[in-house]
Amino acid sequence: MDTSFEIKASTIPSAGNGVFALKDFNKGSFLEVKPRGSTVGVEMLEKDIPAHLLHYCIALADDKWICPRDFNNMEPVWYLNHSEDPNAELGDGGYYSISDIRAGEEILIDYNQFNEPEEKKESFYRK
């Protein structure tokens, strides 16, 4: 059992839950918030996604989105919150720390790395 992370209330107001480190990670460390090499998402049409769960999905072109395979059993990767000053980013095969992350610190990414269509981005991370 991996005990590197926990999901709890985010430090970001109105962000809901977030992913927090339970141990220290040095810059460049692989963060196993999803199994290495796995695909935890499934492509769905917007009309098939309950509106209150859409914020967990990543917009693609047209009416397509990448969503958790099971909204009732989401992996930690789906709880990563946005920051303009992230401490992790998507790299080859998963997420990596881009700075030292200490135990108790929330792991944050820049949602703009997903290259979603601008009109589908939520206002808090539009550039």
Amino acid at 99: S
Q: How confident is the model at residue 51 (pLDDT cuts 50, 70, 90)?
A: very high
CA distance 80 to 47: 24
Q: Is the pLDDT of residue 98 over 50?
A: yes
More confident site: 105 or 119: 105
Q: Give the domains, in start order, of the chain with CATH numbers.
A: 1-36+75-115 (2.170.270.10), 41-74 (no CATH)
pLDDT in tens, 3-17: 799 999 999 988 889
Predicted TM-score (pTM) of the model is 0.85
Which of 101-125 are b and which e, b meaning 16 or more Cβ less than 10 Å from the residue's Cβ?
A: beeebbbbbbbeeeebeeebbeeee
Q: How confident is the model at residue 39 (pLDDT cuts 50, 70, 90)?
A: low
Q: How many residues appear in the chain? A: 127
Ordered DSSP codes for 82-121:
E-SS-SEEEETTEEEESS-B-TTPBPEE-GGGG---GGGS
More confident site: 35 or 74: 74
